[in-house]
Amino acid sequence: MDLLERARTLAACPLFEGLAPAVIIRLAERARATQLERGERRTTENDVWVVASGSLAVGIQELASAEALATASVVRKHGSGALPGHALGLIRVVRPATPIVEAVAEVPSVVVGLAVDDVRDVLEEDPSALAAIADRLAALLLEPAP
Amino acid sequence: MNRRAFVLGAAMILLASLVAVALRAYAEATFLKAYGAAQAPWLLIATAAGFAVATLGYDALTRVAYTGVIDLGLLVVLGVVAAAAPELLARGTPPVVIVIALTAASQVANLALWNRVAASVAGRDARRMLPRAGAAVTLGGAIAGLSAGVVIPRLGLAALPYASAGITMLVLGLCIAQERALAAGGAPGGVQVTAPAVALTRIQRRLVAALIAVAAIEAVITTVIDLQFLSGVKRHYADHLGVALALFYGGTNAILFVLQISAVPRMLVTRNMRFTAAIHPLVVILSYLGFAVAPGFVAIAGTRTADQVLRLATSRTSQELELSAVPAAPRTRWKVLLRGLIYPAAAAATAYVLFLIGPALLHESTRVATAAIAIAVVWAIAARITAARFQTALAAPLGIQQARREDSRRIDLETLARWTEAAGDEQPAVAALARAALQRARVDPSDLADHLRHDEADVRAAMFAQLVRTPVPALRGELRAALAIEDDDRALAFGIKALTLAGDDAGIARGNERKGLSKDLDAVTRSAALLASGDVAAELPGLLARDPAWAVAILRARRDVDAAPLLVAAAEHPETRAAALLASVRIGGSAVLPTALAAGEPAAVAAIASIGELAGDTAIVLPVADWPPLARAVAARALAGAPAGAVIVAQLVADRDPEVAHAALRTALAFARGGTALPGARIAAALDTALAALVAHLAARDAPPASWSACARAELEVATGRCVARLLWAFAVEAAAAGRDPSPIAATARRLVGGSDADRKRALDVVQELHARPAILAAIERWLKSPVSATTEVDLAAHDPWLARLAAGELAAIEPALVALRRPGLFASIAGPALAELAARATERTLEGALFEIGTTGDAMFIVTAGALLARRAGAPDRRIEVGGVVGELAVLTHAPRAATVTAAEGGASIFAIDRAAFTEASRRAPELVLGLSSTLAGWLAPNRPDVL
């Protein structure tokens, strides 16, 4: 995946909808695409994952600890089929106390990963990006859940 | 640190070391007497193997039983075996059994007791105090050696085990006392009895594997040195072997003792592990090089001295600290296994191999030196790898990642063609992304040269646009040729600009050839002529409205025109204001720019943020020093995505206003991450300024005048935390300029300022591993410690004028509001001046009844300063909002209807109201306010949006 493809994947995420294209590109510059084999896992402890293709089962960790993660059950499943644009861990960027999510590839999948620190840096470096995220959060709150 | 447990522990291991040395002397003498000097190598092999087996046994026992009980049992066994040794020998027990039992038991006991000392200290205290505990061990060994010299001639060799048994009972008593001290005062570096078993992570396993390799290689080289030295001693001092060895051990221990109480603790808190762990192997390499040049006993004696001293002074301490990145239980276990199993097993194997090869080999100095240097080089590499893995393992729990990224902005022609096609996509969002990518893309001009006649007109236009952004005079010939046959008007317009900016007006003639065929092309051709001559003032308004970037190019070329008044005039008109601001930035500023920036005008911010998008932008210098602080801070933030503005940011990183320096350093860090370095002198100035500010704030903390209000003290704490962030950002920028990755340092700054106590301590260790200067480490460590009383005079005004005014009581009127606003987490960490501005705009109210009704709209948020509020909504229990609580936050972002009815609780409430305008104004000064608000919104959103978790 080149820079523009990674940027398109990130731009499809609802929380990034209000971001200026230049900010998305800066995020994409720091992102990396990862292919997940069936059964491969990723957590949102330190990373944000945006699904580019494939399907992932998702477990939400109620306690932010490795111990809890090991026993976390899948309490919410992220559909079955293509889930491009679904984001895991984004809320933790602005709210670190949010529970950690564990995603398991149900089929071979591609995700675009970003370090939580990197996303936070881009937002903190650019007040207009921060304001756009806040506006988007407010808008999402007012939308009915999908 | 548990001081009582440490002192008791130091006394305990001093005596235990004394016992170990005395018993070893007794065992060696017994062995040599029984089997003769010819079997001496077997003594080394047997005792090392015995130590390894005993360590395995100890490890097995401690995994099934409480370590404290095992340790006490081990001391009892040691005392009994020592007391019974002479009698057992007399009754015919094979001497080798006695030798192995005594040495193995005493050595394992020393390892076990060392862990008990280590349990009493943690973190930075461990770095300072454990070498001193090591000095106690050294002192114990020295006392044992000297005492043995007195005791043996008077009482005979058999007195040693009896004396050792007696002292062991004393150690037992100290061990019990220390156990109680640990139970009473805590064991910060120890294993919690109730702690669950912890498996090592992959990163930690890699660290332990590297430590095993280092311990084994170190044992190999030390054994070679040992045997070579002993062989030399026998040849040179055959008649005075005992005296020679005693003098050697005495001298070695004296040097070691001095290092352990002086240099080593200092080194461990100032230098990183790559440095510390490299000392021993590098000195061995140098020693062997000396030995190769001048082989002889003096050279090998020097090598052996250096090896013995550094093994305990630097290698053991490195191992100790590197294991600190592993959880307590496996750390304790691996400390024992590395020293008691891996090291002796490797030493025994090496001795056995040398024994098989033949002692004569040790006299072949060149071959031995070559082999030893080769092994030591491998050792040095392994030590470096271990240090790197230690750094990774230390940083991993903090979520700090270290990864090299390639520059994805450098693209090839094929990618340029693909992105260009995407820029014309019918979906606006896709096209906008592609245009943004192209805007930051950099194609190597040599790639462009051969393709300026590409089949696709859009690709040609994109390539010409690249050359407009980065004019390349060397490509004038290729451009001229390409334009001569260019038949696409859009591409030709870009081409004319590119060629003209490259210093060739042949493009204008080409444009004139196609005059009348395209309005845009005509405009470009006509205005291109303005680059050399013509009435700029007359054409400028039209140019600004039509093509601001091209207008900038013309203004830059026409230095004979005074552009500033023209742009001020253009800024008066709404249709050309944004372009005028954009051009103002390019011509070195105009009167309108700082005012617009201070007011937060989006066009002014965008003009600054776009620096780098036009040709010649890297040369922009703005008179920022003359701008008001708010304009400077806004400009610094706006440049975050514009590394071409590095010159401007460099002017601000050491700014006298802390808010401006804060914003500029944040931006400088963004540049550093993207590979743009600031001038070294400016970085150094920023680092010095940040360090001086932190030291001044700490001095104020430690010696606050009695006149300081509680509010001033609280604000000092906030300001000090921000000083720490600035210092680390400056350090990160400096690291990037030196070619190192700044990201881990930046991430560490976040953990230090906003993390838990444990995270902060770990983060400080990470900072040390990242090559921080001792002055930076000392200042941060001082900040992490509790204040100490001091009487230093502090000139805070030079570093933080606003805080100095607050401390002097000049802002007493707003102090109650500051205190009230600091309570909510949303405002807890923003800069004092920004909070003061918010306080000035907040309105205070007392409330008896309803504050707002569900479903109504509003534009203010409220902070409870006294009493309480009640929030009610159908189907949910009432929520009570106490002092420091916030309601209605969503209203400062959106006109959404209120989600609950809020009223004053019984007894009424006092509140501060902050409206949308005040919040927006404050968030321009303190963008972290928006992050805080986002955090609140995210908390509400997360449960309901599975697509945004």
What pLDDT, in 10s, does the model give residues B103-141?
Answer: 888 888 888 888 888 888 887 888 888 888 888 888 888
B-chain residues near A28 (CB < 8 A): 408, 437
What confidence score (pLDDT) does residue B246 get?
A: 65
pLDDT of B34 > 80? The answer is: no
Mean pLDDT, chain B, whole residue set: 84
What confidence score (pLDDT) does residue A66 get?
A: 42
What confidence score (pLDDT) does residue A72 get?
A: 39
* A131:B923 CB<8 A: yes
Quick check: B449 and B475 in contact, CB under 8 A? yes
Q: Is A132 on the interface with B (CB under 8 A)?
A: no
Q: What percent of chain B has pLDDT over 90?
A: 20
CA of B464 to nearest chain A CA: how many angstroms apart?
21
B717 is written with which tokens?
């704490």
B409 residue type, one letter:
R
What confidence score (pLDDT) does residue B575 get?
A: 87
Residues near B79 by beta carbon (within 8 Å), at least 6 away in sequence:
B165, B168, B169, B172
Mean pLDDT across B415-434: 83
How would you class B476 by CB atoms within 10 Å of its CB: exposed for 0-12, middle for 13-18, buried for 19 or more? middle
CA of A108 to nearest chain B CA: how many angstroms apart?
19
Helix (H), strand (E), coil (C) string for B383-420 = HHHHHHHHHHHHHHHHCCCCCCCCCCCEECHHHHHHHH
Mean pLDDT across B255-263: 87
Q: Which helix (H) or strand (E) holds B872?
A: strand B860-872
Rounded Cα distance, B508 and B503, in Å: 12
CA angle B8, B9, B12 (to 5 degrees): 90
Confidence band for B304, pLDDT divided at 50, 70 and 90: confident
Give the best residue of A128, A133, A136 to mutate against chain B (max B CB count within 10 A): A128
Residues near B664 by beta carbon (within 8 Å), at least 6 away in sequence:
B632, B633, B636, B649, B652, B653, B655, B686
Half-sphere exposure of B352 (CA within 13 A, CB side): 11
Find residue A36's DSSP bridge partners. A109
pLDDT of B283 > 90? The answer is: yes
B-chain residues near A87 (CB < 8 A): 947-949
Give the predicted TM-score (pTM) of the model.
0.80
> Which of B258 and A89 is assigned the larger pLDDT?
B258
pLDDT of B608 > 70? The answer is: yes
Q: Is A74 on the interface with B (CB under 8 A)?
A: no
SS3 B198: coil
B576 is written with which tokens?
């050309």
Hunting for tokens 């051969």 — which residue is that?
B450
B-chain residues near A101 (CB < 8 A): 949
pLDDT digits (tens, 9 = 90+) for B863-912: 999 999 999 888 788 889 889 888 888 888 777 788 889 999 888 899 99
ipTM score here? 0.85
Max CA pair span of chain A = 40
How would you class B740 by CB atoms within 10 Å of its CB: exposed for 0-12, middle for 13-18, buried for 19 or more? middle
Mean pLDDT across B165-192: 85
Taking CA–CA distances from B755, the nearest residue in chain A reads A96
Q: Is A33 on the interface with B (CB under 8 A)?
A: no
SS3 A53: strand
Indicate the range of B240-249, B475-484, B862-871 predicted with least confidence. Answer: B240-249
What confidence score (pLDDT) does residue A77 get?
A: 47
Size of chain A in residues: 146
SS3 B366: helix
* B640:A125 CB<8 A: yes
What confidence score (pLDDT) does residue A70 get?
A: 40
CA of B142 to nearest chain A CA: how many angstroms apart?
47
Taking CA–CA distances from B415, the nearest residue in chain A reads A2
Nearest to B671 by CA among B612, B619, B721: B612
B-chain residues near A24 (CB < 8 A): 433, 436
Hunting for tokens 């010299």 — which residue is that?
B149
Interface of B with A in 734-753 (CB under 8 A): 743, 746-747, 750
* A140:B938 CB<8 A: no
Residues near B202 by beta carbon (within 8 Å), at least 6 away in sequence:
none
Taking CA–CA distances from B946, the nearest residue in chain A reads A78
Taking CA–CA distances from B613, the nearest residue in chain A reads A22
* B436:A24 CB<8 A: yes
Q: Is B377 on the interface with A (CB under 8 A)?
A: no
pLDDT digits (tens, 9 = 90+) for B515-525: 777 777 888 88
pLDDT digits (tens, 9 = 90+) for B460-479: 888 888 788 777 778 888 88
Across B344-358, B502-516, B712-726, B879-893, which has the greatest mean pLDDT?
A: B712-726
Quick check: B604 and B619 in contact, CB under 8 A? no
Rounded Cα distance, B221 and B379, in Å: 9
Confidence band for A80, pLDDT divided at 50, 70 and 90: very low
B68 is written with which tokens?
């404290």
Nearest neighbour of B896 by CB, restricted to A7, A97, A138? A138
pLDDT of B443 > 80? The answer is: no
Cβ-based contacts under 8 A for chains A and B:
173
Interface of B with A in 475-514 (CB under 8 A): none
A-chain residues near B415 (CB < 8 A): 2
> Which of B247 and B799 is assigned the larger pLDDT?
B799
A-chain residues near B935 (CB < 8 A): 94-95
Interface of B with A in 177-196 (CB under 8 A): 196
pLDDT of A71 > 90? The answer is: no
Taking CA–CA distances from B418, the nearest residue in chain A reads A4
Taking CA–CA distances from A3, the nearest residue in chain B reads B408
Rounded Cα distance, B112 and B191, in Å: 13
What confidence score (pLDDT) does residue A69 get?
A: 39
What confidence score (pLDDT) does residue B214 get?
A: 95
Q: Is B900 on the interface with A (CB under 8 A)?
A: no
What confidence score (pLDDT) does residue B945 get?
A: 66
* B924:A127 CB<8 A: yes
Nearest neighbour of B433 by CB, restricted to A7, A76, A116? A7
Q: Is A37 on the interface with B (CB under 8 A)?
A: no
CA of B25 to nearest chain A CA: how many angstroms apart?
50
Q: How far from chain centre, in Å, is Cα B6?
A: 30
B281 residue type, one letter:
P
Quick check: B314 and B266 in contact, CB under 8 A? no
What confidence score (pLDDT) does residue A78 get?
A: 44
B861 is written with which tokens?
């948020």
- Calculate the alpha carbon distances from B335 to B6, B116, B317 in Å: 18, 12, 11
> Which of B200 and A91 is assigned the larger pLDDT?
B200
Find residue A34's DSSP bridge partners. A111
DSSP 8-state symbol, B201: P
Mean pLDDT, chain A, whole residue set: 76
pLDDT of B319 > 60? The answer is: yes
Q: Is B637 on the interface with A (CB under 8 A)?
A: yes
Confidence band for A102, pLDDT divided at 50, 70 and 90: confident
Mean pLDDT across A140-144: 75
What confidence score (pLDDT) does residue B631 get?
A: 92
Q: What percent of chain B has pLDDT over 70?
A: 94
B253 is written with which tokens?
């221990």
What confidence score (pLDDT) does residue B717 get?
A: 92
What confidence score (pLDDT) does residue A76 get?
A: 46
pLDDT digits (tens, 9 = 90+) for B728-776: 999 999 998 888 888 888 888 888 887 778 888 888 888 888 888 899 9
pLDDT of B592 > 60? The answer is: yes
Q: Is B821 on the interface with A (CB under 8 A)?
A: no
Rounded Cα distance, B857 and B835, in Å: 26
DSSP B448-513: HHTTTT-S-HHHHHHHHHHHHHS--GGGHHHHHHHHHT---HHHHHHHHHHHHHTT-THHHHHHHH
